[in-house]
Structure 1
Amino acid sequence: MSTKGWTVGSGTAPDGSSRSDEEWERFLRESVAGAADAPKEPSARAREVAQRLRSEPDRGTGGWRSYTPAQPKRRTGWYVAGIAAALMLLVVALAPGRVLDLFSGSDSTPLAAESGKPTQAPPTDTAQRPTADEPFRGSPAARWANGADGITVPKAEPVGWMSEGEVDKALARTRDFLVAADLDRGVLRGERPKDAIALINPHQKDVQDLLDTAFRAPSEDNDPLLLFTRFEPSDTRLVGDIVKTRGRLSYEEGERGALNVTADVTFVYPVRPADGGDEILRTIVRRELVVSWDDPDKVITEPGTFSIVSYKYDVTNGGCGESTGYFTPPFGTEGRADENSEEIDPYDRSGPVAEGASDDESCRRATRS
């Protein structure tokens, strides 16, 4: 039972002073009445212990029944090792790919967007074959952006006859053309690129003649591959839903105050045989396209369309021989470039497109894919 701070002994308070007569009488009344919280007179043993404690003040400071456990020995080494192990497990859980990269020698950290012309080719990764689950494995494209996200669009400023807002819209529509021509799933499977063609000035006769002939009777001079990426669905199947891209748009003022937009973009397509074969290749196409957004007061055009100024492309693993209107990846041994063919690094974007290319440029041999 709590004594509420009271220590009773021979009519003295804890500090040794005498109790008043009123306090002593109240103690006696409460003891006789049996009050629930009435103090009890301590035993002789209790009085003896209390007296001893008052005479030994040093012991009273810590409590005579208090206990101070022994301090455990510090094990700093094990403690630090445990924290390091816990952090490593956290890293593995949050970013398993980065941990695997440390051991495989590759790096899957996404690259920053391309804002200017590169000065050198990307470094060579550890040689690893692509798989159905990782079709860009062992390729610089593993760090590239997906689809339209890999095409950098610069900040718009007024140019020629166009305001800042009009330039911004023209840049966006130029990228829309690249998406419709080289990323649209239907077009990649051989369908006619209607959305892309709709953005080309219908009054540009030479280009319209090319388009009229290319899909009907493809040839070296009238080939849909000059502007569009297509695979024959009976021969080739895309692996997964992702096409990796890297490139940029740039612009300047052209003739008659027109806005000239240049697109320089590399597309990487993982493909496999349509018959279910296990072989996976990467067809790599780098395109350079220059278009002119003309002043309708000076050039006959239609609103929302551009005229094509020039176009050229490099391709590796796209097949050799007579044009069929489709890229034909060389699965197995058929259609591969000759060992004596000119070599090209398809990921090197530091030089111009088709530098030193000959008539059989599509048959140049890739140093890596």
Structure 2
Amino acid sequence: MSGGVDSAVAAARAVEAGHDVVGVHLALSRMPGTLRTGSRGCCTIEDSMDAQRAANIIGIPYYVWDFSERFKQDVVDDFVSEYSAGRTPNPCMRCNERIKFAALLEKAIALGFDAVATGHYANIVTDAGGNKQLHRAAAWAKDQSYVLGVLNTEQINHSMFPLGATPSKAEVRAEAAERGFSVASKPDSHDICFIPDGDTRGWLAERVGAEKGTILERDGSVVGTHEGAHAFTVGQRRGLSLGVPSPDGRPRFVLEVRPKDNTVVVGPKEALDIAEIAGIKISWAGLDPVQSGIVTDPSDPFECEVQIRAHADPVPAVARVVMVGESAELVVTPHVPLNGVAPGQTAVIYVGTRVLGQCTIDRTVSAVPVPAAAAH
């Protein structure tokens, strides 16, 4: 129970469905803030108190579990490490993967519980063979299956999402008001929970440090300088401070961040169009493509949809697993180019409404060829 409206209603529905429910709030910071600032951040003392009040109204036991050390190691430190390597991580994915459905679920099962129920908008469907699958929520506008794409078979088997069939968030808020929950009109949290002021660049600068470097065009020519490569992300336009205007006068965008030599590569907007992505750290949300009967051989290509951000539209694509030495890559070729893809992002693969699996984007192929001069 995060202290928000979704988890409060999910807990109440789980009780009404006949389950023996215990409310748990995760303390993810050793020094939590006292109050939220609007809808920024989460896991404050105020949030814990909101969750406590909802649990009291529902009539269930309530506990606060300290996962702050695990959260720092598996989410915050990972976030810093990924940015230091020039990648753009999604901390919500890591939190779901390593905290809510790993550390929390492990502890819950050890204590004798059967499942972890959350307020995520997603559905679990059981197929004809009795296998559980992760699917999109009924309300696509609120669907959160993307951030759950990291779940594996065992985790899906021990998960519940009571809000998955709810047609709108407005209905959840109305239900919360009817139940007397004080969080009925509480704003949704957004941004990165451990950077509540939203200043990701400043937060990273304190932890990674800032070192001046060069900004290059795709052909290798120097067009400016920067104060630290970690402050840039693929697709960024503002804050480049370029000293050399582009020949056609059009704006440039960040195309690549190279932390090893502390350089940033920029170019035209159309160069952000990506014709292919290759991902590592592949996982399947339930049965894999062979077990599901989608392909007969792991390397066979198959039609799917790929989604690269939580609120991005899914794009029709062809995916295939390719072995590179002893490691596997998930290579995805979209039917229309993806835009602004950055290494480190998560690509979630869907077949219809079903979440098939995910990978961490390791490299991309631009739809616009690199100028020949860059090869010299």
Tell me the TM-score range normalised by the shorter chain.
under 0.3
TM-score, normalising length from structure 1? Answer: 0.22
Which one has the bigger strand percentage? 2
Greater Rg by CA: 1
> Which structure is higher in RCO with an 8 Å CA cutoff and minimum separation 6?
2
TM-score, normalising length from structure 2? Answer: 0.21
